[in-house]
Chain A
Amino acid sequence: DAKTTQPTSMDCAEGRAANLPCNHSTISGNEYVYWYRQIHSQGPQYIIHGLKNNETNEMASLIITEDRKSSTLILPHATLRDTAVYYCIVEYNNDMRFGAGTRLTVKP
């Protein structure tokens, strides 16, 4: 079973920030938080990952709470092409468990 809980779906207006939450209350000290997304009929695409500190790359930012029990993926300026299913995964020792994810719909 996936070790994370995400909302089933979210909407976001084009050009606005999309904030996708993830709960991982049973995360252990060695487990990383990974985010992937899957655009319809394509393979999943890596977005970002982190352990304790907040992370930022060209695609997104990852905010991890101090107790590490939850995190938020931020797409700063969502576009229509960001419409996808977003997966939050906690991983250690190569045990990658995908849950149902959040279906993000970016609307014009």
Chain B
Amino acid sequence: ETGVTQTPRHLVMGMTNKKSLKCEQHLGHNAMYWYKQSAKKPLELMFVYNFKEQTENNSVPSRFSPECPNSSHLFLHLHTLQPEDSALYLCASSQDGAGGPWNEQFFGPGTRLTVL
């Protein structure tokens, strides 16, 4: 247990569906992250939130929409996805988003997403 939970653990959706991924951290951290891990590819950073403010968006398509209502919760809203969006989506948190010696990130177990 890392203190970061993600729901659902598995999700199958059609290209016309709208769904949301949820991440919750119980560590008192102020920074939260979404990563995408496709088959046989390195982890890709998608979004960074620091103190509830989005500080990074790595050219992610608009069909992925993040939401951070507070420092403990992070959502990823999905709509009109493509089959190539099938991947493991990982959430992480860290003490803050300043980087350097305090950037130890704690990862959740991930949501395995399949887009049909």
A43 at the interface (CB under 8 A from B): yes
Give chain B interface residues in 88-102, CB to chain A under 8 Å.
Answer: 88, 90, 92, 97-101
B56 contacts A42, C-beta separation under 8 Å: no
Q: How large is the interface on A (under 10, 10 to 19, 20 to 34, 35 or more residues)?
A: 20 to 34
- A46 to chain B: which residues have CB within 8 Å? 104-106
Q: Chain B contact residues (Cβ within 8 angstroms of A): what range?
A: 20 to 34
In the complex, the answer to whether B107 meets A44 with C-beta atoms within 8 Å is yes
Residues in A with CB closer than 8 Å to B110 are 41-43
The answer to whether B57 has its CB under 8 Å from any CB of chain A is: no
A29-45 interface bits toward B, Cβ cutoff 8 Å, 1 = contact, 0 = none: 01010101000011111
| Interface membership of B48, Cβ < 8 A | yes
The minimal Cβ–Cβ distance linking B86 to chain A, given in whole angstroms, is 15
Say yes or no: A43 contacts B103, CB within 8 Å.
no
Q: Offer 22 A-B interface pairs, CB within 8 angstroms, sorted by A.
A: A30-B100, A32-B101, A34-B103, A34-B104, A41-B88, A41-B110, A42-B109, A42-B110, A43-B2, A43-B4, A43-B92, A44-B92, A44-B107, A49-B101, A51-B101, A91-B99, A94-B48, A94-B50, A94-B103, A96-B105, A97-B45, A101-B42
Q: Which of A32, A43, A51 contacts B90 (CB 8 A)?
A: A43
Chain A hits for B108, CB < 8 A: 43
In the assembly, what is the distance between CA of A98 and CA of B103, in Å?
14
* Interface residue? B43 (CB, 8 A): yes
A residues 43-95 in Cβ contact with B at 8 Å:
43-46, 49, 51, 91-95
Contact (Cβ within 8 A) A95 B99: yes
User: Are A43 and B97 within 8 A (Cβ)?
Assistant: no
Known: A43-B2, A43-B92, A43-B110. A96 touches B104 (CB 8 A): no
What 6 A-B pairs have minimum CB-CB distances, sorted nearest first? A43-B107, A94-B99, A98-B43, A93-B99, A98-B42, A46-B104
Chain B residues within an 8 Å CB radius of A93: 98-100
Q: Is the CB of A2 within 8 A of B99?
A: no
Query: What residues of chain B lie closer than 8 Å to A42, measured between beta carbons?
Result: 109-110
